[in-house]
Chain A
Amino acid sequence: MTSAHAARRWFWYCLLLVPYAGVLWVPLYNRVDPVVFGIPFFYWFQFAWIIVTAIITALAYFAKV
């Protein structure tokens, strides 16, 4: 494995960790406001992370990591 290849792989592994940072720090999102379409922040924030995670894994797939 070349070092450029290894560096690229590390970049993608770090990107795959981003969703962890997004949802593991609970105080960040344990609140009601802003409410969107009647849905409190706590709920739509985590829902949004599902979509972001799917996009990140899809990008990793297309980048052939």
Chain B
Amino acid sequence: MNRPALTVFILLFTLVTVLGFVAARWRRGDLNHLNEWGLAGRRFGTVITWFLLGGDLYTAYTFIAVPALVFGAGAIGFFALPYTLMVYPFVYAVFPRLWSVARKHGYVTAADFVRGRHDSSLLALVVAVTGILATMPYIALQLVGIQVVIAAMGFTATGLAGDLPLIIAFVILAAYTYTSGLRAPALIAIVKDLLIYTVIIAAVIVIPAQLGGYARIFASVPADKLLLKAPTAGNLGTYSAYATLALGSALALFLYPHCITGLLSSRSRNVIKRNMSLLPAYSLVLALIAFLGYLALAAGVQHDPAYAGWFKQYGATFAVPALLLHSFPAWFAGVGFAAIAIGALVPAAIMSIAASNLFTRNIYKEYLQPACTPGQEAGVAKLASLVVKLGALAFIIFLPGSYAIQLQLLGGVWIIQTLPAVVVGLYTRWLHRRALVIGWLAGMVVGTAMVGAEHFKTSIYPLHLGALTVPGYAALYSLTINLGLAVVLTLILYALKVSPGRDQTAHADYEYDTT
């Protein structure tokens, strides 16, 4: 047991627990209302939105998995850089429109918008279910992050006793999310980011000095990992994989329910736009985080017998914890572990809130209890957030961790299938509601089959175009089929004069602003 690390960890964890409960009183609102519980009254300004979105997008899994990929596979792991870099211009141009129309009409979820825009509760259901499906494994993955750092502090127990710290952490999380709603992760995100920035800045200053500078670190990276493998005559190889993975991930990110929840909770259009020029600060941090993978390689932690047992159990995901233990005094490693664990709590809370918003608005209220009062609505959402988290916990405890990772791969492929209904819908409702449903179905089936053809090990699918093989992100390939089919069917449906329904939104709603 690593006592100094554990003490610091428990202190910081207690601090955020207190914050989580205190958050209920922060910017007080009636928490028996979904708009208050699930979107914190849509009152967050630039700074809080910055912390909230940063805490939301860069999860514990990011801190563990990105360096692990760099550590294990090298340059390809850096796709995270072009990915986060392409996100912000896209969101800047597109998503203020979603904020405006949602504010004007009181939409809480993307599915609410789809229902109003396309006049189709079926399409809204499809968007809601996709969102919930894609979010669940993502929550489970946050737990994997907590598991790794708990193990790194020397918990060696197995069975129920081994899972106990994880269960305690999650029960606490569930309790304050229940009472405080979105206010809790927003407040905790500030602590999380301060910790992360501290640890990362310390790591990229102290560790390269210990290792003798950047040149020596890059010199220790094997030549075949330092760059992407160049294409061969008949195969574009990692070039097309790298570019499509970055682009597809960038397009998919803000379709995730937890990102939309973060956006919709902001106070004005300007808050979103300002954030899109401030959020690249996190991309810089992400670049440094990816770089930790090479620091771990250069430090030689994989050859250190002290960490052999952990590497055997957790593989490359142990690279960052090992690096922290290797390079820092135990108490500071504890700060790092706390940063990762708290970095799991923030997104897990927002994700569970977003999933329960979807369930409540687009399934419960739509199909089960249309006449429910605002109080009942908020009550159902709170309960749903508990169910979602318990589900994620059971998933991690009873199923192999690899399932969560595989489902998370599929999650990205699934969520991007809502792009035609949501993103295209923000500009035009030319695509017919029925064409959108069938396009979605085709995209889901083809995307899942592509990942399945790779035995769920990777979402890179080798597309064969004649003699040329183009390995690429299955999400982008299946989205192309989804969109293509939607266009063709739209033409047919209009020719058959099938009613496209009535638009509840007006042109000006997409530019609506509060100030």
Contacts and interface: CB of A to CB of B under 8 A. Distances in A.
Interface in A28-65: 30-32, 35, 37-40, 42-43, 46-47, 49-51, 53-54, 56-58, 60-61
A7 to B, nearest CB: 16
A13 B85 CA distance: 16
Contacts of A42: 75, 78, 226-228
Interface stretch (B112-120, B281-289, B488-496): B281-289
Contacts of B239: 26-27, 30
B175 interface: no
Contacts of B81: 23, 46-47, 49-50
Contacts of B78: 42-43, 46
Interface stretch (B136-144, B270-278, B466-474): B270-278
**Chain B interface: which size bin?**
35 or more
Contacts of B246: 23-24
Contacts of B227: 30-32, 40, 42
Contacts of A60: 92, 273, 277
Main secondary structure on A side of the interface with B = helix
Contacts of B75: 30, 42
Nearest to A41: B227
Contacts of A25: 243
Contacts of A35: 215
B405 interface: no
B287 A32 contact: no
Given A23-B246, A50-B280, A16 B89 contact: yes
Given A13-B93, A27-B239, A38-B214, A50 B85 contact: yes
Given A37-B214, A39-B214, A60-B92, A53 B243 contact: no
A57 B86 contact: no
Contact of B280 (A16, A27, A38, A53): A53
Main secondary structure on B side of the interface with A = helix
A54 B90 CA distance: 12
A43 to B, nearest CB: 7
Contacts of A37: 214-215
A57 B281 contact: no
B24 to A, nearest CB: 33
B32 to A, nearest CB: 37
A19 to B, nearest CB: 6
A50 B89 contact: no
B399 interface: no
Nearest to A36: B214
Interface in B281-304: 281, 283-284, 287, 291
Contacts of A23: 81-82, 85-86, 243, 246
B314 interface: no
Nearest to B92: A57
A43 B213 CA distance: 15
Interface in B211-226: 213-218, 226
A13 B97 CA distance: 14
Given A26-B243, A42-B226, A54-B283, 4 more contacts: A23-B243, A47-B81, A50-B284, A53-B88
22 contacts: A13-B93, A16-B89, A16-B92, A23-B81, A23-B85, A23-B86, A23-B243, A23-B246, A24-B243, A25-B243, A26-B228, A27-B239, A30-B230, A38-B213, A38-B214, A38-B217, A42-B78, A50-B283, A53-B85, A53-B280, A54-B280, A60-B273
Interface of A: 13, 16-17, 19-20, 23-27, 30-32, 35, 37-40, 42-43, 46-47, 49-51, 53-54, 56-58, 60-61
